[in-house]
Structure 1
Amino acid sequence: MLTDLEAARNLFGGAGHAPKGRLRVDIPVALARSFIIPRLPELTERFPDIDIILGVSDQPVDLAAEGVDCVVRLGELSLTSMISRVITHVRMVSCASPSYLEAHGIPRSIEDLSDHRAVTYFSGRGRSTIDWHLIEDGEERSIKMRSAMLVNDSEALVACALAGLGMIQALHAGVADHLETGRLVQVLPELQAFRRPVSIMYPNRQYLPAQVRAFIEWIDETCKPLNA
């Protein structure tokens, strides 16, 4: 009852009322480690009275059933009664370990990819896999890679690539360190970088609690540089 009372005060506290109270959000694994979590001190310093419950997952979340206020996801979101919108686009990169390329050769064209195998990301109980997307001569092409392994976690995807199990297409920010050290090598670097949307989803409410609105505005502002 006290929690509900505090939420009501926070919702109708007026323009001068600082956001406070519990905020439960869920963010994708790749963006969490490489980008969002390092910047969370900015949010907590700006809004010290917000109590953050942070979930880190790549899998679909039932906001109502799990009591989550909003989620950030990489890629397009499925149709739902919730509000969803794209806040930025992030660069993807195709890469593999030197050991894999030494064993299987370096692809020189999109057509060469048919001779290779990939570690493929899947999402949800239906194990919906994510195709590769590459841009050639200004045209986006979707490629269904032959899978050496399926994983449902972004960090596992990168770990499999580092182990030489196959090529991956991953968030550039999540593998930038490995590319710099040479533990991963970019594949088909001459092709234009493909960008995937980053979307945020939250309940379809006319009046969002102040702490939820504060997070939405902050994540929107914070993720904009990823589109550079």
Structure 2
Amino acid sequence: MIDRVHAMRVFTRVVDTNSFTRAAESLGMPRASVSTTVQQLEALVGVQLLARTTRRLNLTVDGAAYYERCAQILADIDELESGFGAGEERLRGRLRVEMPDTVATSIVVPALPEFHARYPQIELSIGIGNRNVDLVGEGVDCSVQLGELPDSGLIARRLGMLEQVTCASPAYLDKHGMPQTLDELAQHVAVNCISEKSGRPADFDFDVDGEPVTMKMRGFVQVADEHAYLACGVEGLGLIQPLRIAAQSYLRSGQLREVLPQWKSPPLKVSVAFLKSRQATPRVSLFVDWLAALFERSQQMDDTLTSLYRSAQRRGPSRRDRPEEETAGA
């Protein structure tokens, strides 16, 4: 007799991945077994759940309703089982997440030893990129996104805000001068960072007396990678407007200098998005909670470092950092 719970897990995985093959790979089952299990489930419930074509799978009306109930029932079972025994130690399995490079390298990856120590049985698969992820089609559990989320029907939880900073290398500023106004800024060149979401160069954004101001900057270099973007700025190829957490070490070392600090760039909203069917899943729930706490700590640290940096800028270089004065007649 068919194991109904197992069959429901197989069916929901097929729907989430939109593929019998990907579902089989993620479940560690032969593809033929996945197909047979779904057919047996359809025979058991007495309706067709999936409309199969040579190109893709589509849920039938009955299949969509059944999927919603299955997802909730399976989440309830997972939550129930995780509440017994050793509690958090029982949480196990693979969690697939997507996030932007800067968020991964500056915030999440440094804290992963803490996560692993707390949840040693959870395997994280982290994809890098700031794009609109098809969570269902790609089998992704949750996605960290910068900026406004598209109206996709996903559940989203706000994690925080990340400040952007306008900056350039000392070499560039020595050659072209330090802009004092936005009009002067428009005469400068910038490194153009290509947005993964739009495929176009990102504009420079500012908040001027509460009003958003967008500036299209000219430049002769385009990059689509955050590390390359920062490297181009450090090498003096133009002004850049990266996330402050990505540029902080370069600002502290003096490889980059903040430009027009009186005109702030609007901070970017950071959210984590996940499928409705994943909302009550213990692994997703705990990871989202952990991310929220991590971002809160990171925001506090970033605010402190920013405050210290700006205080140091106002004071100017310390005596130790200033070049020795030349003596008369030397």
Same fold (TM over 0.5): yes
* AA at the equivalent of 2:274: Y
What secondary structure sits across from 1:155 in the alignment? helix
* Aligned partner of 2:144 among 64, 67, 72: 72
TM-aligned CA deviation for residue 177 of structure 1: 0.8
Larger of the two Rg values belongs to structure = 2
Alignment of 1:39-188 (within 5 A): 39-124=111-196, 126-188=198-260
Q: Which runs of 5+ in 2 are unaligned?
A: 1-9, 11-23, 29-70, 304-330
TM-aligned CA deviation for residue 125 of structure 1: 7.0
Which of 1 and 2 has higher RCO (CA within 8 Å, sep 6+)?
1
* AA at the equivalent of 1:145: M
TM-aligned CA deviation for residue 33 of structure 1: 1.4
What secondary structure sits across from 1:65 in the alignment? coil
TM-aligned CA deviation for residue 126 of structure 1: 4.7
- Who is 1:15 aligned against? 83
| 1:121-157: CA deviation from partner (whole Å, max 9, x where unpaired) | 2223751332222223343322222233222221121
Contact 1:86 1:199 (8 Å CA) reproduced: yes
For residues 108 and 198 of structure 2, the distance between their equivalents in structure 1, rounded to whole angstroms, comes to 28
What TM-score comes out, normalization by structure 2 length?
Answer: 0.62
For residues 142 and 278 of structure 2, the distance between their equivalents in structure 1, rounded to whole angstroms, comes to 15
- Who is 1:37 aligned against? 109
For residues 83 and 149 of structure 1, the distance between their equivalents in structure 2, rounded to whole angstroms, comes to 37
What secondary structure sits across from 1:195 in the alignment? strand
Aligned residues: 227
Runs of 4+ in 1 over 6 A off after TM superposition: none
TM-aligned CA deviation for residue 224 of structure 1: 1.7
TM-aligned CA deviation for residue 51 of structure 1: 0.8
Task: Write 1 or 2 for the structure with the bigger share of helix.
Answer: 2
* AA at the equivalent of 1:13: E
Q: Which runs of 5+ in 1 are unaligned?
A: none
The 3 A distance-change label for structure 1 pair 206 and 61 is: closer
Alignment root-mean-square deviation, CA: 2.5
Contact 1:119 1:165 (8 Å CA) reproduced: yes
What secondary structure sits across from 2:106 in the alignment? helix
For residues 136 and 115 of structure 1, the distance between their equivalents in structure 2, rounded to whole angstroms, comes to 18
Contact 1:11 1:207 (8 Å CA) reproduced: no
Contact 1:58 1:153 (8 Å CA) reproduced: no
TM-aligned CA deviation for residue 50 of structure 1: 0.8
The 3 A distance-change label for structure 1 pair 80 and 10 is: same
* AA at the equivalent of 1:161: G
Q: Percent identity?
A: 33
TM-aligned CA deviation for residue 84 of structure 1: 2.3
Q: Which shifted more, 29-38 or 129-138? A: 129-138
Task: Write 1 or 2 for the structure with the bigger share of strand.
Answer: 1
The 3 A distance-change label for structure 1 pair 73 and 85 is: same
* AA at the equivalent of 2:180: R
TM-aligned CA deviation for residue 54 of structure 1: 1.4
